[in-house]
Amino acid sequence: MTLRETDGRVAVLPRWFPTNQGGLCQKGWTAAELLDHPDRLTTPLLRDPASGKLRPASWEAALDRVVAGIHTVQAGGGRDAVAVFGGGGLTNEKAYALGKFARVVLRTRHIDYNGRFCMSAAAAAGMRAFGVDRGLPFPLSDLGTADTLLLVGANPAETMPPLVRWLAEQRRRGGKLIVVDPRATATARLADLHLQPLPGTDLAVANALLHIALTEGFVDIGYIAGRTTGFDDVRRAVAAWWPARAEALSGVPVADLEETARALGTAERTIILTARGAEQHANGVDTVTGYVNLALALGLPGRDGSGYGCLTGQGNGQGGREHGQKADQLPGYRRIDDPADRAHVAAVWGIPAGDLPGPGIPAYRLLESLGTPDGPKALLVFGSNPVVSAPRAARIESRLRDLDLLVVVDFLRSETAALADVVLPTAQWAEEDGTMTNLEGRVLRRRALREPPPGVRTDLEILAALAVALDGGSVRSSGVDRGSSIAPEPRVVFEELRRASAGGLADYAGISWERIDDRDGAFWPCPEVDGPDTPRLFADRFLTPDGRARFHAVQHRPAAEEVCAAYPLHFTTGRVLAHYQSGTQTRRVPALRQATPAAFVELHPDVAERLGVTDGEPVRVVSRRGEMVAPARLSPAIRADTVFAPFHWGGAARANTVTNDAVDPISGMPEFKICAVRVEKVNAT
C-alpha cells in the first residue's frame, strides 16, 4: 500500500505489486486509523506498588525500573532467569536485533516468539524434507496458472483476501480448486471440490491420496529415483491407507479422495499448499510431511508451475523466523547448536563464540515455565499478546502474574500489557523504516511516512537504550562492550544482518536497501550484490547435503484429547475476515468492529436443536482447561460433531481458554485446532 498524509490525515492508497496487484482487504484499507487512535500509548507506564495500577512515568524512570529488575533477577537466578518473547510482525531488523539483544546483552538462552504458534510445523517439515524453510519456493503468481490447486487447512478468502485474485485467475483459466477444511468456509465455497474431514485427520487423507496415486500409477518414478531418498519406507507406510479406511476415520468419501488424487496426478501443473488447519496439531509436522510426501511422489517440487508451499500468515511471518527470534536459531537460518554457525555469527557480533548461550525452549514451554521455581522470573515482550493468543491461556495469564518483572513493548494496551510492571510505548509500522520478507521469500522495503509522536520510541531505540543501561551492570564480561551492540538505526542493523546471514540458508548478503528500492524486492538466497536472487528454489537441487529431497514415513495419530461422554464435541479455532491475531488492533477500528462486533460459537443446527439453543443465544463451551461464553451462530457449514470459534477476543469470549496445550514434539506447535468440549446453554438471568 501507499500512505499519503494531508493536513494531518492519513489516506491508504492501493499500490500495484506483483503479489496483490493493487488489491487490499478491509484491514489494509483501515490500518491507518490506528496511527492517531485515542487508545494509543504515548508515555511509559509503571505499576504503582501502592495502588497496583499502571501510572504514566518518564522514560528515565521506566528504563531504570527495567534495568534494576533485570539485574536483580539475574543476580538471584542467573542469566536464564530473564526471557524474551518476540513477534512475527516485527521487521527483519527488529527480529534480528531482538535475538542479538537476548544472546549478547542479556546472554540468556530463553527467547522465542509467537510465530511458533503459526508456521513452525511447516517450517520443521520443510527443513527435514527440503533442507530449507521458505513458505513458497516459487512466486505467488504461479497459483494462477495451476491446473490443479489443493489447499489444505487454508481460508485465504477471509485471512488473505488479496490472494484470492490468484484463485480466481486459476479458475478463469480452467483450473480445478480443491479445498480440505472441516468447515465450508468462504474459500471452500469457491472450490470445485470440498473435502470436509474430521479435525485432526488431515494426515489420514494425505496418506490415502498417496495410496491412490501409487495404485493408479500417478507417481513420477524417474523424479523419485533421481531427486529423492526414502521413498520405499513411505510406499510401505501408505500401503495400509486404502481409501475406505481413510473415509471411516475422516469422513471424506472414497469417491472424493479418488477424484482428488486423479486431479492432482493427471494435471500438467499441480500445486499443493498447507496452512494452519493442517499445522496446528500435536502431530502437525507429520501432517505437513504427509502432503510433502504426496508432492514429492508426484514430482512437483522444482518443476515449473508446480510444487508444494506453505501459506504464511503474519505480516513478517517469514522474515520473523529467519533471523534469530526462534529458540534454536541464529540469523540466516543458522543453528545455534552448530559450531560453525556459532563461530560465524559470534565474529559478526564481536564476541567469543563460547559466550553465545545454547538453544532455548519453544514458545509454549517457555511461557508455561514462567515464574516457576526453575523457570524465568522476568519476561520482555515485543509485539505479542500471549494472554489472548497462547493455548490454555488462563494458565499462561497466571504464569505472567507470577513473574517478578513483566515488561511489554507495544503501542496499545493489550491484555498482556494490562498485566505488565512496565509498558513502553513504541512506534507503529508507518513511523519507521525497515524490511519485511513475505511468504515467497521476497524481501521488501517498508518506508516511514512520518516520525513517531513525541514521547514514543521505536523498538530499536528501546533495545539500544536498554543495552547501554544494562552494560553498566552484570552483563559485561570477556572485555566486550555489549552496551554498544544494538544500533538504533534500521539501516545500520540491516547492514549487519546481511553480514550475519551471509553463507546461511537465508542469505541476505546481496540484498541492499537500494536493490529492493529499485525493484519489486529480492528473493533470498541472494549471496552477491551483483548476482541473481532466487525466485524459484529446487530447480536443480534441494538444499540438503546431497541435493536430494527426503521422504519421511508418517502415520496418523489421534488427537491428544479425544471426545468422550463428558466432552462429546470437537472444538476448533480460526480467524474471521474483519479481525487479525489477538484483535488488539482490529477491535479498535470502528469499521472492523461493526463488521464483526463480538466473538461467536459456530454450531451445526442439529447440535443447537439438541441443546435447545437458538441463533444468537449465548452458549458456554467447556473443556478440561476452562470455558468461554459467546453467542451461538447456527450454520450448516460446519460438521455436526464440531464447533468453531474465532480467537480474536479476550475476556469471557477467549477461545484459547479452552484450547489444548499439547505440543508437537518436533516443532513445539500447540494443538490449537482440536480438543474435546461440551456446549451448554447459558440460562438467562
Q: Which domains does the chain have, with CATH numbers?
A: 1-34 (no CATH), 43-117+318-486 (3.40.50.740), 120-311 (3.40.228.10), 569-681 (2.40.40.20)
Confidence at residue 479, expressed as pLDDT on a 0 to 100 scale:
55
Confidence check: pLDDT of 586 > 50: yes
**Torsion angle of C-alpha atoms 112, 116, 118, 121, degrees rounded to 10:** 150
Confidence at residue 475, expressed as pLDDT on a 0 to 100 scale:
43
Nearest to 582 by CA among 380, 313, 385: 385
Which parts of 31-115 fold into alpha helices (H)?
Answer: 59-77, 92-100
Q: Which residues contact 153 (CB under 8 A, 6 or more apart)?
A: 180, 181, 202, 274, 275, 276, 277, 278, 279, 673
User: In this structure, are residues 474 and 74 in contact, taking their beta carbons and an 8 Å threshold?
Assistant: yes
- Report the first-to-last Cα separation within the chain, whole angstroms: 48
Percent helix, strand and coil across the chain, each rounded to 5?
Answer: 35, 20, 45
Range of weakest confidence among 59-68, 247-256, 514-523? 514-523
CA distance 471 to 473: 5
CA distance 289 to 121: 9
Mean pLDDT, all residues of the chain: 95
% of the chain with per-residue pLDDT over 70: 98
Which parts of 153-253 fold into alpha helices (H)?
Answer: 156-159, 164-172, 202-215, 221-227, 231-238, 243-250
CA distance 19 to 139: 8
User: In this structure, are residues 180 and 214 in contact, taking their beta carbons and an 8 Å threshold?
Assistant: no
User: Residue 588: how many CB atoms within 10 A of its CB?
Assistant: 16
Confidence check: pLDDT of 340 > 80: yes
Q: Is the dihedral of CA 483, 349, 108, 116 positive or negative?
A: positive
Mean pLDDT of 389-403: 97
Give the tens place of pLDDT for each residue, 442-460.
999 999 999 999 999 999 9
DSSP 283: T
More confident residue, 503 or 684: 503
CA within 13 Å, CB half, 612: 4
Q: In what order do the strands lie in the sheet with 434-437?
A: 434-437, 442-446, 522-523
In the structure grid, which three cell numbers stand for residue 269, read together? 501443473
Give the tens place of pLDDT for each residue, 180-238.
999 999 999 999 999 999 999 999 999 999 999 999 999 999 999 999 999 999 999 99
Please give the radius of gyration of the chain, using alpha carbons only, rounded to the nearest integer. Answer: 24
Q: Is the dihedral of CA 181, 185, 189, 191 positive or negative?
A: negative
DSSP 124: H
Backbone angles phi, psi at 431, to 5 degrees: -120, 15
Q: Which residues contact 634 (CB under 8 A, 6 or more apart)?
A: 602, 603, 604, 605, 608, 613, 614, 615
Residues 219-251 as b/e (b if ≥16 CB within 10 A, e otherwise) read bbeebbeebbebbeebbebbeebbbebbbebbb
% of the chain with per-residue pLDDT over 90: 96
DSSP 565: S
Using CA atoms, how far residue 326 sits from 96, 359, 616, 624, in Å, is 10, 9, 41, 30
Using CA atoms, how far residue 108 sits from 85, 342, 358, 668, in Å, is 12, 15, 9, 19
Confidence at residue 474, expressed as pLDDT on a 0 to 100 scale:
44
Give the tens place of pLDDT for each residue, 484-514.
789 999 999 999 999 999 999 999 999 999 9
Please give the model's pTM, rounded to 2 decimal places: 0.96
Confidence at residue 557, expressed as pLDDT on a 0 to 100 scale:
96
Amino acid at 308: Y
Which parts of 267-335 fold into alpha helices (H)?
Answer: 276-279, 284-297
Backbone angles phi, psi at 68, to 5 degrees: -60, -40
600 pLDDT band, cuts 50/70/90, is very high
